[in-house]
Amino acid sequence: MKSPLERGRVMLDIIELFIGLHKIGYVHGDIKPENIMSNILSYQHKLVGFRYTNKEGGEFLGGAGGYLAPERRVKDSKLAGLTYKEDIFSLAMTLLKIEGLDISVDDLIPDTCFENEKSPSKCQENVNKKVEEVFSEKNKLYPKEKSLGCLLPVFLKALSFDLEIRYKSMEEFEIDILDKLTKLDGVFIFFRDILIKEIKALDEFKKPSIWICRLLTMEFMLTSKIKFPHETTFEISTLACNKENKIV
């Protein structure tokens, strides 16, 4: 089993796939574990299953049961075009399943959740309970300062049925996960090793991850007592990242 920081990195890398898709104006529309092909050894991930993909604001073409955003499943839904928030809910549910959700998402959020006005709130309670169970189970394997229990509030927000509460963008979702991870024990050495590998990637004419760019300007990095070799942070930040912490 991967460590909490390794699993956190997998989350960040997968989220970046969808940040890229959203940046060119598309909503995937069918996010589920089967549509994310991952190599757990190389941290390489690939999206598949684009039959329901459409432009943001475009026509809703379908989706996968319990992974589908609740606002899309409400009876006589007035929701028109596709939104990025739908992908955020679906991705959070997918990551929850990858993290160890022990029941089918179709059982967790059945169609009965949307039979009347009171049903969604009851189902939201069930979802929140399962989120807490998944992350508390992970906490049993590691001390609190090293566990992914810190991500509980992030996933509760991403899986909110209330559109006013749910994240507005994949970038916000990613930043909150990264912020929580930087507070775990051993995180600096973990990210330092990733940065060294990113330098090698630059030599091969590849770009570093967007979250690596964000990491370089986060407070924990700037105030850390353990310093990177100057040329490491300089090369990453000047060759690959602009002032908005995005890939050049």
83-106 burial, b for 16+ CB within 10 Å, e for fewer?
A: bbbbbbbbbbbbbbbebebeeebe
Quick: pLDDT tens for 100-149. 887 888 888 888 888 766 678 888 999 999 999 888 876 666 666 667 88
Render pLDDT for 45-80 as a digit per residue (tens, 0 to 9).
Answer: 889 999 999 999 998 888 777 899 988 887 766 777
For 18-37, the pLDDT digits (tens) are 999 999 999 999 999 999 99
Tell me what pLDDT residue 248 has: 40
| pLDDT-wise least confident of 5-14, 112-121, 236-245 | 236-245
Residue type for position 161: F
Percentage of the chain modeled with pLDDT above 90: 35
Count of C-beta atoms within a 10 Å radius of residue 79? 14
Residue 222 vs residue 185, higher pLDDT: 185
Q: Is the pLDDT of residue 43 over 50?
A: yes
Please give the Cα distance from 31 to 47 (Å, whole number): 9
Q: Is a pLDDT exceeding 60 seen at residue 38?
A: yes
| 3-class DSSP state of 116 | coil
Mean residue pLDDT across the chain: 81
Mean pLDDT of 232-236: 56
Predicted local confidence at residue 247, as pLDDT = 43
pLDDT in tens, 77-95: 677 789 999 999 999 999 9
The tokens of 145 are what?
Answer: 């300062």
pTM, rounded to two decimals: 0.85
**Highest mean pLDDT (candidates 4-8, 90-94, 219-223):** 90-94
Q: Measuring CA to CA, how many Å separate 69 from each of 29, 92, 141, 168?
A: 9, 10, 31, 14
Residue predicted with more confidence, 153 or 213: 153
Range 182-212 burial, b when 16+ CB lie within 10 A, else e: bebeebbebbbebbeebbeeeeeeeebbbbb
For residues 239 and 119, the model is more confident at 119
Does the structure show a pLDDT above 80 at 196?
no
Q: How far is CA 135 from CA 41, 93, 127, 131, 142, in A?
A: 23, 13, 13, 6, 11
